[in-house]
Amino acid sequence: MALIPLDTTFLLLSLATLVSLRLVHLAVHRLVLHPLAKIPGPKVAALTHLYEFYHDAIRPGKFTFQIDGFHRKYGPVVRINPREVHIQDPEFFDQLYSTLMKLNKDWYYYRFVGTSDASFGTPSYSQHRQRRKAFNRFFSLSAILDHEKQVRKSVLQLCARLEEHRQTNRPVLLGSVFRSLATDVISQYALPEGHNLLGERDFGKDFHNVNRKLSGVAAYNRHFPFIIPTLMVLPAWLVKLTATPGMVQMLNFQSHNQNQARQIVAMGKRSDDSVLHGIFNSDLPDSEKTAERIFQEALTLVGAGSETTGSALEHVFYHALANPAIKARLFADLSEAAKQGDLSSHETLKRIPYLDAVIKEGLRMGHGVSGRLPRYDPHNSITYKGYVFPPGTIISMSIRDMHLDPDYHPEPLTFNPERWLDPSMQKRSEQFFAPFGKGTRACVGRELAMLEMMMVTATLLHRFEMDLFRTTYDDVRMQHDFFSPFHADDSKGLQVTIT
């Protein structure tokens, strides 16, 4: 047996002692001395981020459900990791996410995005304002209505594809269909040349499966932030050697986006021809107009606009088709509206209250964004009931908690469009409803998403007779929270037959 020299043993022992002392110090600090030490919650979650990591990444996407359990046990205020408090109280949502609050996003949580160069993942309040201003104008209602023709074109393309399925009687994976439609719409708006997943065989099913897997990888990146940057610098040829067809499709998709950003910068043309052109044409400083940063904006705009809208539509359709009375009432109202105008025009769609109610109910139960929204105020304390959280404390709330709270939305697991129409319920329902978030970091794509959802729901449910195919609520309900909600791995999501 080789003998370790004495001075090496001494060194190793000293190192082990130092590491142990540091760990003990960290534990005592987090559990006893930390400003959050007295906040209720499980000690293990307060002690180490590894607890969250396990339920977030290894189990994948289950930490949200752990947080639900903490609240049942400890009440509305819970310390969920060493540095963050989660609050479950719909009355506080408007206050925390008010436009008057100058809050930063928590850089740790948002590392799942893989970049802080795009608006979505920008931690700083002031830098975010500057970045978002560069493309806000593209997403006002009037700007979106100028783009209505393009959205209609995608919906008509989808109808033509569904006709093929009607004739062959093959079931359709509507989840993939909706995600593809949403990806095409936002990419055709944001990029000079968008994508055409609706034209793909199987509506880009493999692509969406890869997206789902990558969302799981993103949860790892939150805790170990070198993962996504490492994957991004791997040469494409190397990845393609071992990649599945869906992965190859994803790589081509991303390199297309990257090339578009590079071309905009290389050509140096000042125009508002696309959202990305608009960012280059804005009054941002030159350091913010690099091809790499514009590419990151493209990545997050397309990412944020597709999975959310796709999964919300999946919920709208599941519930509309699973409830014959709702489907019949919607069809009757759509038929009536079709006599007065065009069901693919916003002007007609906005006058159909039952359509609006069905979509809101889908957004309430489907949670386009299921993840918590952590923020902090670097300069001021935040108070909640008797608690005073010092500057820098990370505080998060979840839209899902508000939407499923029986005190604000009675029988929250029942899909009931009437709650948006009945005057005795309507005001309360609206007040505690925020699928697109609130405040300065609220969704920029709200008007686009609403237009897509209205046009798709009205056109498809009026034009086609659809029936659920081997789909129960378990096939669509959230089983994993990767910021967007994902259904169970072994489910194909919403499937329908068309006659």
Q: Which residues bind ligand HEM (CB under 6 A)?
A: 119-120, 132, 186, 300-301, 304-305, 308-309, 312, 368-369, 373, 399, 435-437, 441-445, 448-449
CB-nearer residue toward ligand HEM: 96 or 312: 312
Taking the complex as a whole, the smallest distance from the CB of residue 140 to ligand HEM amounts, in Å, to: 12
Nearer to ligand HEM, 82 or 435 (CB): 435
Amino acid present at 11 = L
Q: Kindly tell me which of 210 and 399 has the beta carbon lying closer to ligand HEM.
A: 399
Q: Which is nearer to ligand HEM, 343 or 369 (by Cβ)?
A: 369
Task: Please give the backbone phi and psi of residue 489, each rounded to the nearest 5 degrees, phi first.
Answer: -60, -35
Q: Would you say 51 or 436 has its CB closer to ligand HEM?
A: 436
Residue nearer to ligand HEM on the CB measure, 183 or 479: 183
- Is the alpha carbon torsion for 388, 403, 481, 124 positive or negative? negative
Tokens encoding 459: 């056109």
Tokens representing 261 are 């950003």
Instruction: Render the burial of 466-499: b for 16+ CB within 10 Å, e for the rest.
Output: bebbebeeebbbbbbbbbbbbbeeebbbbbbbbe
Q: Which is nearer to ligand HEM, 39 or 453 (CB)?
A: 453
Is 116 or 498 the residue whose CB approaches ligand HEM more closely?
A: 116
CA 127 to chain centre: 21
Cα–Cα distance, 84 to 106 (Å, whole number): 9
- Residue 59 Cβ vs ligand HEM, minimum distance, rounded to whole Å: 22
Beta-carbon contacts of residue 353 (< 8 Å; ≥ 6 apart): 333, 420, 421
Instruction: Determine if residue 140 is left, alpha or beta; phi over 0 gives left, psi from -120 to 50 gives alpha, anything else beta.
Output: beta
* Single-letter amino acid code for the residue at 326: I
377-404: string of b/e by CB count within 10 Å (b at 16+)? beeeebebeebebeeebbbbbbbbbbbb
Residue with tokens 């994508």: 195
**Residue (373 or 466) nearer to ligand HEM, CB:** 373
Least separation in angstroms between residue 10's CB and ligand HEM is: 50
- Provide the minimum distance between the beta carbon of 413 and ligand HEM in the complex, in angstroms, as a whole number: 19
User: Smallest gap, in angstroms, from Cβ of residue 451 to ligand HEM?
Assistant: 9
What is the closest distance, in whole angstroms, from the C-beta atom of residue 73 to ligand HEM in the complex?
A: 27
Nearest approach in angstroms of CB 316 to ligand HEM is 10
Tell me the closest approach of the beta carbon of residue 494 to ligand HEM, in angstroms: 15
CB neighbour burial string for 115-130, b if at least 16 within 10 angstroms, e if fewer: bbbbbbbbbebeebeb
* DSSP annotation string for 429-494: HHHT--TT--STTS-TTHHHHHHHHHHHHHHHHHH--EEE-S--HHHHS--EEESEEE--TT----
CA 489 centroid distance within chain: 18
- 87's enclosing H/E stretch is strand 84-87
Provide, rounded to whole angstroms, the least separation between the CB of residue 436 and ligand HEM: 5
Nearer to ligand HEM, 449 or 466 (CB): 449
Q: Which residue, among 408, 413, 421, 310, has the nearest Cα to 360 in the 3D structure?
A: 421
Q: To the nearest whole angstrom, how small is the minimum distance from the Cβ of residue 13 to ligand HEM?
A: 47
CB closest to ligand HEM, residue no? 445
Polymer length of the chain = 499
